[in-house]
Amino acid sequence: MAEDTAAANIEAPPENGAAMAKRRKLLRLLAIAVVSIAVIWGLWYVLTQAGRVSTDNAYVGADSATVTALVSGPVKAVRVSGTQMVKKGDVLVILDETDQRIAVADAEAALRQARQHYGQSSANADAARARVSARGAEIAQARARLRDADALVAKARAELARRESIAGTGAVSAEELTAARTTLASASAARDLAAAGIASAEATRGSASGDLGAAEAVVRGTTIDTAPDVAAAQARLDKARLDLERTVIRAPVDGVVTNRQVQVGQRIAAGAPIMIIVPVDTAYVDANFKESQFKRIRIGQPVELTSDYYGGDVVYRGKVIGIAGGTGAAFSLIPAQNATGNWVKVVQRLPVRIALDPKDLRAHPLRVGLSMEATIDTRGND
71 and 163 share a domain?
no
CA distances from 209 to 58, 125, 131, 192, 222 (A): 82, 10, 8, 26, 20
Amino acid (one-letter) located at 170: G
Averaged pLDDT of the chain: 80
Q: What is the pLDDT of residue 240?
A: 95
Q: What is the pLDDT of residue 47?
A: 58
Residue 3 pLDDT > 50: no
186 and 85 share a domain?
no
118 and 200 share a domain?
yes
146 and 177 share a domain?
yes
How far is 259 from 274, CA to CA, in rounded Å? 8
Count: domains in the chain = 2
Least confident piece of the model among 219-223, 280-284, 316-320, 348-352: 219-223
In a domain, 86, yes or no: yes
Residue 4 pLDDT > 80: no
Angle between helices 174-219 and 98-166 (to 10 degrees): 160
In a domain, 8, yes or no: no
Report residue 340's pLDDT band, with 50, 70 and 90 as the boundaries: low
Report residue 208's pLDDT band, with 50, 70 and 90 as the boundaries: low
How far is 1 from 204, CA to CA, in rounded Å? 164
Q: Are 104 and 111 in contact (CB under 8 A)?
A: no
135 and 176 share a domain?
yes
For 220-367, list the strands marked E by DSSP: 248-250, 255-258, 267-268, 273-278, 284-290, 302-307, 311-323, 349-356
Query: Where residue 71 sits, what CATH number does that domain have?
Result: 2.40.50
CA 167, 170, 173: angle at the middle one, nearest 5?
70
In a domain, 211, yes or no: yes
The helix (run of H) or strand (run of E) holding residue 247 is none
Contacts of residue 372, defined as CB under 8 A and 6 or more positions apart, other chains included, come to: 56, 58, 59, 60, 285, 287, 305, 306, 307, 316
Report residue 90's pLDDT band, with 50, 70 and 90 as the boundaries: very high
In a domain, 162, yes or no: yes
Q: In whole angstroms, what separates CA 294 from the centre of its chain? A: 38
In a domain, 299, yes or no: no
206 and 269 share a domain?
no
Query: Where residue 183 sits, what CATH number does that domain have?
Result: 1.10.287
Report residue 267's pLDDT band, with 50, 70 and 90 as the boundaries: very high
212 and 222 share a domain?
yes
| Burial state string for 24-37 with b = 16 or more CB within 10 A and e = fewer than 16 | eeeeeeeeeeeeee
Quote the pTM value: 0.62
228 and 104 share a domain?
yes
Q: What is the pLDDT of residue 341?
A: 63
In a domain, 210, yes or no: yes
Instruction: Pick the most confident of 29-38, 196-205, 219-228.
Output: 29-38
Q: What is the pLDDT of residue 8?
A: 46
94 and 106 share a domain?
no
219 and 112 share a domain?
yes
189 and 70 share a domain?
no
Q: Are 259 and 84 in contact (CB under 8 A)?
A: no
In a domain, 11, yes or no: no
Q: What is the pLDDT of residue 374?
A: 93
124 and 184 share a domain?
yes
Least confident piece of the model among 91-105, 142-156, 354-368: 142-156
Identify the bridge partners of residue 67 per DSSP, sorted by sequence position. 275
Report residue 45's pLDDT band, with 50, 70 and 90 as the boundaries: low
In a domain, 130, yes or no: yes
CA distances from 378 to 207, 356, 357 (A): 90, 17, 18
Q: What is the pLDDT of residue 154?
A: 78
How far is 71 from 270, CA to CA, in rounded Å? 4
| Residue 177, domain extent | 100-241
Q: Are 73 and 267 in contact (CB under 8 A)?
A: yes
Residue 274 pLDDT > 90: yes
Question: What share of the chain in percent tops pLDDT 70?
Answer: 74
Residue 31 pLDDT > 50: yes
Q: In whole angstroms, what separates CA 19 from the centre of its chain? A: 87
Report residue 215's pLDDT band, with 50, 70 and 90 as the boundaries: low
Report residue 209's pLDDT band, with 50, 70 and 90 as the boundaries: low
